[in-house]
Amino acid sequence: MSYALDIKVLASLEPIAAFGAARLRELLDYCHTENIARGTDPFKAHGLAGQSVYLVRGEIELIYQDGNRVVVNAHSEWAKHPLGKRQPNIVGATALVDSQLLRIDDDLLDRMVTWDQFSSHDLAGISHGPSASEPAPDADVNKRLPTASLFSAENLKSGPFAHLPTANIGELLQRIEAIAVWADDVIIREGDEGDYYYLIDTGRAQVTRRVDGVERVLADLKAGDVFGEEALISEAKRNATVTMQSNGVLLRLGRQDFLALLQEPLLRKVGYVQAQKSVAEGAVWLDVRHPPEYRYDRLPGAVSVPLNDIRNAIGVLDKDKKYIAYCQSGRRSAAAAFILAQAGYDVQILDGGLWSVSAAEQ
């Protein structure tokens, strides 16, 4: 029997449970469900590599490389977390009843968790811009940074932000500017120098180009769409004109900031074996994930400082100690380490995060 997937199912999973309702609905478009018949191997057709796989219906038996057998029920605490991430390798599995798996691309989910966890602190209390049907806001709009379209799943998957080094997220949120625009405003003009990268937070725009003396429509843009990056990267002239079709709010980033933030900052990475030696000599593991993740599979002796609280930890963490930050992949820990390093802390990153550390190594 097949079951419809809804946000209630997603809201029971970790670390997805930290998402708001709008983010959960967005994530639904990137989830894939797989029905598993009783008595079959749930991972025979599709393995676990590169995906976060959750058991959302039924019950399966897992056989691990070390010989242990574990029965996982969809209602158990175990099933709230991705299967096979930090346990010994799964060498066999059987569905004990008709079951259902949920699969999400590891890389996309990790990016979404990182941006959400980071921005929940930086953007707390900041209001969104008005809808396109409302009058354009006043000049104070640039003091408010709308968030939803800024790090939509689509932008994190294939837009310029997909290539933004995680450590630079904080700088991006500080430097990006929200501006009010009116219908018929020309935002960029064909032939001009590239000056800004834009993202539409609210409103609609149209892209046109003059061909043989005639203005031709190339595309219609909506909230969440981006434009202007090509001229910044290639240092070429603008090759099209973008005109607002309604009142709205744009987010923009200056050319120098755009190029600077695409550069990877210098961060100190360390492998697990060397990190263990440092911890034995007095260094402290710093777990920057959400508390439920920390409780589920923290490293021995680790201190929990979620990424969204990392700035609050400045002045509380001991500057005489050395810290090794970790998360699942290394993304969230990179963002945390960059902030702490700027504040004068001696901090390194567990290279590759927990996903690079097998249970055997521990």
Active-site residue set: 327
- Beta bridge partners, 59, equal 73
Helix (H) or strand (E) holding 36, with range, is: strand 31-36
**Torsion on CA atoms 203, 119, 113, 260, rounded to nearest 10:** 80
CA distance 303 to 285: 6
- Beta bridge partners, 287, equal 304, 326
DSSP 71-137: EEETTSSGGGS-TTSSSSPEEEEEESSSEEEEEEEHHHHHHHHHHHHHHHHHTTTPPPPPPTTSPPP
CA distance 356 to 342: 26
Angle between helix axes 106-122 and 331-342 (nearest 10 degrees) is: 30
Residue with tokens 């290639």: 234
Length of the chain: 362
Helix (H) or strand (E) holding 248, with range, is: strand 248-254
The answer for residues whose C-beta is within 8 angstroms of residue 352's C-beta and 6 or more apart is 329, 330
Alpha helices in the chain (DSSP H): 7-10, 21-28, 106-122, 153-158, 169-175, 229-234, 255-261, 272-280, 291-297, 331-342
| Contact (CB, 8 A) for 57 and 100 | yes
